[in-house]
Amino acid sequence: MRFKIALTLPVLSVFALPTRALWPFKQKRFVAEAFIDAGPLGLEDTTGRVIAMGDWNGDQHSDLFILSKDQKSVQLYLWNRESFKFLPSHSVTLSSNIINVVPGDYNHDGQLDLLVMYEDKSDGGWWGGDKIRLGMQVYIGGGVDGGFQTDPWAIPSSTTAQPLVFDADGSLRPSLLGFQEDEAGDNLVKVWKNTGTGFTLLSPPLQTPEEACVPASPHSSAFLDIDGDCLPDIILHCTQPHTSHHSIQIWLNHGEAGFALARTYDLPKGSGPLSFADMKDRDGSIDIIFPTCSGHSSSTGLGSDCSINIAYNQQVPICSTERSHNTKDGSLKCRGWGELCTRDENFSFSFDSSSETQSMLSVPLSTLLENSIGDGDLLLHPPHARSIPLPIRPGDFNVDGFPDLLITIANSTAAPPTGGPFGSSRHAGHQVKILENVPCGKGVAGCEKGSKRKRGLRVGSGKGWTALDGIWDASGASWMDLDDDGSLDILVQRTNAQGEGLVTVVQNNFYHDAFFLKAQVLNGACQGECETIEARKYSPLGVSYGGATFKFTVQDTLGRRVAQQVAQLPQTGYHALGTPYAFFGLGRTNNYVERLTVGTSLHPPGHTTDLESLIPNSQIIINPPFPDTGDSESPVKARSTEWRSELYLHPGDWVPWVGAAVIGTVIILAIVVFGLNEREKKEDEKERRRALHAINFQAL
């Protein structure tokens, strides 16, 4: 395995400009330690909605895909670091309403492409009316001026439930798992298998496809590791026909044998969209996050009497040793910290918040808000847009190692009064709130008396939160690392009185005494830099693929070893807004990241790799070997043949000061050495003169 380190060191130009008073450090764009309203950053003229993120040009900065207000076109905006804003680039326009887009490398050439899902209406026959399906096309990247190629791939349509993007055969190519309607009107599960030159409709790689459930609409199905073996599994979010009852199916990945149905769970009544993150005590397993509401208004998108729920993934603990241990009957007792990708056959979930095992945390939203704003309803989807769910979005904004939650609420006192000093009272509006994952204590929800939980939730507030609290027309929010500066910022989507979409970026400029790590798994399309048959070269760093798993251990300041698991792009449907990288906080630590285990959807046993002693505050890029798929033709000259890793250190604010301290120390030491050297010379001269005087005296 080759390991490349790219270090960015400060260059101190002390005498560059006399008017700068010899100040060598670059002036910060944002100075205050707070959430800062950075504005639309080039998106002032957009009236639509951000629909997806992706690194289109491979420059390691997230770009945005924005759906127009009329839903007929998608505009790509590229991040420009020099001007610190998004600049419009290429676009896709259709005559039908665009429902969703999913960036990905579909032809496996190391360049990002775009899967476009749109409303496909057809004649309903003698029943009358139109029959609506989900049409799909893939617009291939690498066209003129970095745009799209001329002819898109045509893909057979599906039911209106959006297909799940996943790897069907261990080829690292994005295929689709969805449903088609047969002549009898029944939904049949199908796989749109990616061949590298198009999609072929086949039977799914499910061992018992007849047991596959009917997906909810909208659904929160995902492709990520659930049982701990670092192989991505399938989680289907299901519904029963003609009811509002929801459930999930967990299909475990068995490599070449396909996916086997392992667990089925009923979700609580009134459950909403699902999210996935390692929330509990850094135990190295993925938990399920979702809201439940007793009431719901389709016109306003608000859920009433809501609760925030976390269903913990019950798996074996981490051993104190490097190797795993088994019980007498052969089942896994604990995972060794050097064998994190070991399957726990007995993993389980419980969706009963009243259980004495405390395997699920359920906190009423009213309890969370009573100490901050008093009341509020949860926004489940934008008004009059039920097809765009707003999930609870996990993200570690304070890099303490415990993911926090981002939600949008309706607050009756969110907006300031419109009258004068004696005008009307504050009126209702939509605000973005962060639910901090904090240790149990006073004012922390979920830490009731007698509870054995160590952590709970608290609404973030305090000094420096004014910019976030001052937005009262939010219609959704998501995390992103703006300008790749190593902090999670907030992309807030807003809707004005005319129903037009606005975008505001809230910069996270807090200083946190902790470390982070960013990681990205590529798809093995190229061996290093990509080169086509026509000798055209380009960077493949934008082609993240969904389903990768990161597991790692780190020691906290007390010397305790903790584990974390993070998934890369586990969800792609319904405006998932996943970043092309995985971001996780390390907390306060005085050590390296001991071991990072990376899992992919390659067939076992070669689906993982281990990296040891990683430096915190860095970004790691992993390129797996390209599997032998038997393709006779390849769009690039050389596929990846081995695991490759590149580590990029992030220069923190302290780097210039360290440089100044080092230079200052060197100067002081140089002065001391020079002074001692001169003193030594003088002493030597005196000794020489005394010796000469003694010789001359004896001669007389």
The sign of the torsion formed by the CA atoms of 93, 96, 100, 105 equals negative
- Per-residue pLDDT, averaged over 546-566, amounts to 90
pLDDT at position 179 over 50? yes
76-85, 415-424, 578-587, 633-642: lowest mean pLDDT where? 415-424
Task: Please tell me the distance from the alpha carbon of residue 408 to that of residue 434, in angstroms, as a whole number.
Answer: 9
pLDDT at position 384 over 90? no
In this prediction, residue 392 carries a pLDDT of: 98
- Its CATH architecture, for the domain 34-417+425-518, is 7 Propeller (2.130)
pLDDT at position 644 over 90? yes
Phi, psi of 630 (to 5 degrees): 80, 15
Q: What is the pLDDT of residues 96-130, one digit of tens each?
A: 999 999 999 999 999 999 999 999 986 544 444 46
- Token code pair at residue 639: 């596929």
3-state secondary structure of 167: coil
Can you list the positions of beta strands (E) in 95-218? 98-104, 113-123, 130-139, 153-158, 164-166, 175-181, 187-194, 199-202
Q: pLDDT band at residue 356, thresholds of 50, 70 and 90?
A: low
- Per-residue pLDDT, averaged over 358-383, amounts to 87
pLDDT greater at residue 653 or residue 628: 628
pLDDT at position 699 over 60? no
Task: Please tell me the distance from the alpha carbon of residue 306 to that of residue 71, in angstroms, as a whole number.
Answer: 31
- Per-residue pLDDT, averaged over 321-336, amounts to 92
- Per-residue pLDDT, averaged over 298-314, amounts to 94
pLDDT at position 590 over 90? no
Q: pLDDT band at residue 596, thresholds of 50, 70 and 90?
A: very high
Report the range out of 320-329, 396-405, 682-691 with the highest average pLDDT. Answer: 396-405
In this prediction, residue 241 carries a pLDDT of: 72
In this prediction, residue 698 carries a pLDDT of: 52
pLDDT greater at residue 182 or residue 599: 599
In this prediction, residue 375 carries a pLDDT of: 73
Q: What is the pLDDT of residues 243-296, one digit of tens each?
A: 678 999 999 999 999 999 999 999 999 999 999 999 987 889 999 999 999 999
Task: Please tell me the distance from the alpha carbon of residue 623 to that of residue 642, in angstroms, as a whole number.
Answer: 8
Phi, psi of 677 (to 5 degrees): -65, -45
Domain-wise residue ranges, the chain: 34-417+425-518, 519-654
Q: pLDDT band at residue 623, thresholds of 50, 70 and 90?
A: very high
The residues near 14 (Cβ < 8 Å, ≥ 6 apart) are 22, 24
Cα angle 364, 487, 622 (rounded to 5 degrees) comes to 105
Task: Please tell me the distance from the alpha carbon of residue 428 to that of residue 416, in angstroms, as a whole number.
Answer: 9
pLDDT at position 12 over 80? no
In this prediction, residue 428 carries a pLDDT of: 75
In this prediction, residue 689 carries a pLDDT of: 83
In this prediction, residue 425 carries a pLDDT of: 55
Q: What is the pLDDT of residues 515-547, one digit of tens each?
A: 999 999 999 999 989 998 888 899 999 999 999
In this prediction, residue 568 carries a pLDDT of: 97
Task: Please tell me the distance from the alpha carbon of residue 99 to that of residue 65, in angstroms, as a whole number.
Answer: 13
In this prediction, residue 17 carries a pLDDT of: 37
Q: What is the pLDDT of residues 488-513, one digit of tens each?
A: 999 999 998 888 889 999 999 998 88
Buried b (16+ CB within 10 A) or exposed e, 644-658: bbbbbbbbeeeebee
Spatial contact of 386 and 453, defined as CB atoms under 8 Å apart: no
Secondary structure element (H or E) that encloses residue 279, with its range:
none
On average, the pLDDT of the chain sits at: 88
In this prediction, residue 245 carries a pLDDT of: 87
pLDDT at position 68 over 90? yes
In this prediction, residue 433 carries a pLDDT of: 96
